[in-house]
C-alpha cells in the first residue's frame, strides 16, 4: 500500500522521556484483534493514557494539553519487543509522522519505514537538548528535513544529521513501498527459486 510522501516536516513535538518503551505499551495485545487497519490511534499507549474507568491519566504527555504536534520524541531503545506493526499503525493513526529517539529497536524501525512514519535517530546529547527545549517551551518547533537528512531545533538553529539508506529515503520521498519494487522483479525471483536448495 503506497503511503503519504514525506519531505520536510515542521512541527511541535510530544515528549516521552522514558527508556525501553516496548510495543506492548505502544499498543497492548488485547487491541490486536482487528482484521483491518483502522482505529489503532485510539489505543495508542492505552494503559499509560487511561485509567481503568477509561478516564484519561492527566499526567501522561498525550493527555497534557500543552503538548501537541506530529512528532513523538521517545527515550532510548524505543519500540523494543514484539514485531506487531500495529504499534507503528497506532503511532501513525494518532497523527504522528515522525518518531525521534537516541536508539530504536530494529523491527519497529523497519515497520515505521514501511508505512511512512520516519524514524529519526539522534545522538543522546541531541535527544537531551530536544527534551530540554520542549520542557522550556512546549510549543517549540522541530524541523525534520528528509532531503537534507537533518533535524533542527527551529528556535536556536541547532541541528544534527541522521542516517537513512538511499533506497528507503527515495521510497519515503515518493510514497513508494517495497512491494511495488519487488513486483517488478518477479521473473528474477522465480528463476532464483528454481535453484534454492530447500
Footprint on this chain of other proteins (rule: CB under 8 A): 1, 17-20, 22, 24-25, 28-30, 32-37, 47, 52, 75-77, 80-86, 88, 103-107, 110-111, 114-115, 165-168, 177-179, 181-183, 185-186, 188-190, 192-193, 196-198
How far apart are alpha carbons 154 and 169 in whole angstroms? 23
CB of 78 to other proteins, least distance (A): 10
- For other proteins, give the closer residue by CB, 141 or 168: 168
- How many angstroms separate the Cα of 91 from the Cα of each of 156, 178, 188, 197? 28, 21, 36, 40
Q: Which is nearer to other proteins, 7 or 51 (CB)?
A: 51
Q: What is the DSSP string of 41-74?
A: GGGTTHHHHB-TTS-B-TTSGGG-TT--SSEEEE
C-alpha cell at 125: 546529547
In the complex, what is the shortest distance from the CB of residue 167 to other proteins, in angstroms, rounded to a whole number?
3
The distance of closest approach from Cβ of residue 40 to other proteins in the complex, given in angstroms and rounded to an integer, is 10
Neighbours of 145 (CB within 10 A): 16
| CB of residue 154 to other proteins, shortest distance in Å | 27
Residue with smaller CB distance to other proteins, 135 or 139: 135
What is the total residue count of the chain?
A: 198
CB atoms within 10 A of CB 52: 6
Residue 111 or 140 with smaller CB distance to other proteins: 111
Amino acid at each position: 500500500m503506497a503511503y503519504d510522501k514525506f519531505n520536510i516536516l515542521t512541527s511541535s513535538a510530544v515528549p516521552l522521556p522514558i527508556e525501553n518503551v516496548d510495543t506492548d505499551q505502544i499498543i497492548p495485545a488485547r487491541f490486536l484483534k482487528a482484521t483491518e487497519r483502522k482505529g489503532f490511534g485510539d489505543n495508542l499507549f492505552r494503559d499509560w493514557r487511561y485509567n481503568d474507568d477509561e478516564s484519561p491519566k492527566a499526567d501522561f504527555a498525550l493527555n497534557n494539553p500543552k503538548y501537541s504536534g506530529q512528532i513523538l520524541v521517545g527515550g532510548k531503545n524505543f519500540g523494543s519487543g514484539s514485531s506487531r506493526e500495529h504499534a507503528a499503525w497506532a503511532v501513525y493513526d494518532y497523527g504522528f509522522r515522525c518518531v525521534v529517539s537516541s536508539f530504536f529497536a530494529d523491527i519497529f524501525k523497519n515497520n515505521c519505514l514501511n508505512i511512512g512514519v520516519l524514524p529519526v535517530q539522534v545522538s543522546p546529547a541531541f535527544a537531551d537538548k530536544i527534551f530540554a527545549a520542549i520542557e522550556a517551551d512546549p510549543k517549540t518547533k522541530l524541523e525534520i528535513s528528509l532531503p537534507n537528512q537533518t533535524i533542527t531545533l527551529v528556535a536556536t538553529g541547532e541541528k544534527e544529521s541522521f542516517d537513512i539508506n538511499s533506497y528507503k529515503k527515495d521510497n519515503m520521498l515518493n510514497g513508494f513501498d517495497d512491494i511495488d519494487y519487488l513486483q517488478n522483479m518477479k521473473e528474477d525471483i522465480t528463476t532464483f527459486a528454481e535453484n534454492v536448495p530447500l
